[in-house]
Structure 1
Amino acid sequence: MSTKTPSHVLLEHYLKTLKLPSVLREHRKMASVCQAERADYSTYLLRLIEQEIHDREQRAAERRLKSARFPVVKTLDSFRFEEQPSINQPLVRELAHGEFIKERENVLLIGNSGTGKTHLATALAFAACQMGFKVRFFGVTALVTQLLERREERQLDRFFKQLERSDLLVLDELGYVPFSKLGAELLFEVVSRAYERTSVVVTTNLPFESWTEVLGSQRLTGALLDRLTHRVHILEANGESFRLQDSLRRRGQRQKTKKP
């Protein structure tokens, strides 16, 4: 068992003070490796700093992914584009590079239930996390409920400020549940505050002309759409439901298995 010298103890104290955990963890092992390879001091220092930077980036990516609060992590690699030919795959691939976030542009995914809109929205948001963007994912109904609760608790301004620190907001499944007047107004406030500051991805099963059924006010709907569609990329998903296709596929497999 090696005994630490006073200089080692002091070095490790300074590394803790400077918050360099990877250097603290690796410096003795790296010294042995570099000594065996006859590497110079610059190489030794370079390798330690590279390790520290790599580990910091990894921890930051993990924090971004956790704070995004995805219900399930999805990627573009697992999306079956061949079964949804109505979706503009080149545009999706382009959006995955994240330029729309830098330009403060929005994305609307519109189409039938079960066609992969949430999958695509999550995949674009996951790619954004990997590129260093701050992301928050919300089911729209859950977001409105949270907004109403924060208002009741007098914490609404604090919540809005938290949202404003995001680079990308995902609002999933607009159109399944109509909102109260106050709920619709609070949702509009989220979109209004994000306008030209934070990119927004919205998934919906409703065409624009039907949004009033959910928001309750033609005036409010018009104002919200005006902000969302000012600088927007629209993706339409008009194919059959993945869930229906998977169900039919499983049924067919079971029937084949039962045949003598």
Structure 2
Amino acid sequence: MTNRHRGLTEQAADAAIDSACRLLRLPTIRSQFTDLAEAAARDQMTYRGFLAELLMAECDDRARRRSERRIKAAAFPRDKALRTFDFTANPNVDPAIVHTLAKCDWVKKGLPLCLIGDSGTGKSHLLIALGTEAAMAGHRVRYVLATKLVNELVEAADEKMLAKTIARYGRVDLLCIDELGYMELDRRGAELLFQVLTEREEKASVAIASNEAFSGWTKTFTDPRLCAAIVDRLTFGGNIIETGTDSYRLAQTRARTDQSTHARV
């Protein structure tokens, strides 16, 4: 005897569900309802239980897609996750502090984060990984190299688009600025960057990674007063993580070279 739902054959019911899911924009239920219905029948699930499974599957998938969109919008140059950060290779970085930061309370409060250390010590990895955690938590995030940001601001100022550009960067919940301190900025560039930081102060978070200790920032921001003001904006009420001077990336490369040398001997 053919199963019927309100007078529909099972085939017609499937077609009606497919059509309704398209109309209501429920792609996950549309793709999974057959498997979930069969599992519900096997497990003798109640109607309420089956409905809950369907709706939760749709909600979970929507949350995943939103996270993927936010991560893509952040424009990270590469994928970096906290689970792949080697805390044993860099004892300067406290895993407890980093995992607390991964909860993103500092982003909700609009506080800054500074990652300071030499090349190869994991600054950019942590910057991208914590930015990714923030995006997954529902925050709007944007990653940019310091030089690229300053060049964009200078071009915007020349084209009378500065206010619009600063506002665009002001709209994100977390602005991640990488490689701050790698090159000297002229006074105009430094002042424009200061405007972005001022626009965000105590309203939205800024996270930076720099290869220079704060004492060396006068090489990047040559005006001492402006330098002091920028350091103040980036440190007040925030977190500072010093990743040290020993490049674990270099150490890993040397270890691999040693292993291959021993293997050939």
TM-score category, normalised to shorter length? 0.7 to 0.9
Structure 1 residue corresponding to 2:207, chosen from 201, 208, 225: 201
Aligned 8 A contact 2:109 2:204 in 1: no
Paired position in structure 1 for 2:64: 58
Change (3 A) 1:206 1:236: same
Deviation at 1:22, TM superposition (A): 2.3
For 2:257 and 2:46, locate their aligned partners in 1 and report how far apart those are by CA, in whole Å.
65
Paired position in structure 1 for 2:119: 113
Change (3 A) 1:90 1:29: closer
For residues 224-253 of structure 1, the C-alpha deviation after alignment (integer angstroms, 9 at most, x for no partner) is 122111111111122411232123223322
Paired position in structure 2 for 1:146: 152
Deviation at 1:188, TM superposition (A): 0.9
For 1:108 and 1:239, locate their aligned partners in 2 and report how far apart those are by CA, in whole Å.
16
Aligned 8 A contact 2:102 2:130 in 1: yes
Unaligned stretches of 5+ in structure 2?
A: 1-8
Aligned 8 A contact 1:85 1:239 in 2: no
For residues 13-71 of structure 1, the C-alpha deviation after alignment (integer angstroms, 9 at most, x for no partner) is 55444332223334455445444554333223212211110110011011011011111
Q: What is the one-letter code of the residue matched to 2:189?
A: G
Q: What is the one-letter code of the residue matched to 1:46?
A: A
Paired position in structure 1 for 2:182: 176
Deviation at 1:143, TM superposition (A): 1.4
Count of aligned residue pairs for this structure pair: 257
Q: What is the one-letter code of the residue matched to 1:129?
A: A
For 1:160 and 1:8, locate their aligned partners in 2 and report how far apart those are by CA, in whole Å.
51
For 1:175 and 1:163, locate their aligned partners in 2 and report how far apart those are by CA, in whole Å.
20
Structure 2 residue corresponding to 1:192, chosen from 186, 195, 198: 198
Q: Does 1:91 align with 2:97?
A: yes
For 1:25 and 1:88, locate their aligned partners in 2 and report how far apart those are by CA, in whole Å.
44
Q: What is the one-letter code of the residue matched to 1:244?
A: L
Percent of residue pairs identical: 34
Paired position in structure 2 for 1:256: 262
Unaligned stretches of 5+ in structure 1?
A: none
Q: What is the one-letter code of the residue matched to 1:114?
A: G
Give SS of 2:92's match. Answer: coil
Paired position in structure 1 for 2:232: 226
For 1:255 and 1:212, locate their aligned partners in 2 and report how far apart those are by CA, in whole Å.
43
For 1:37 and 1:84, locate their aligned partners in 2 and report how far apart those are by CA, in whole Å.
49
For 1:223 and 1:48, locate their aligned partners in 2 and report how far apart those are by CA, in whole Å.
53
Structure 2 residue corresponding to 1:130, chosen from 128, 136, 161: 136
Change (3 A) 1:28 1:185: same
TM-score, length of structure 1 as denominator length: 0.87
Structure 1 residue corresponding to 2:49, chosen from 43, 48, 54: 43
For residues 56-95 of structure 1, the C-alpha deviation after alignment (integer angstroms, 9 at most, x for no partner) is 0011011011011111111222222222222233222221
Give SS of 1:256's match. Answer: helix
For 2:203 and 2:241, locate their aligned partners in 1 and report how far apart those are by CA, in whole Å.
22
For 1:38 and 1:201, locate their aligned partners in 2 and report how far apart those are by CA, in whole Å.
51
Q: Please, what is the CA RMSD of the aligned residues?
A: 2.4
Structure 2 residue corresponding to 1:167, chosen from 162, 170, 173: 173
Change (3 A) 1:151 1:14: farther
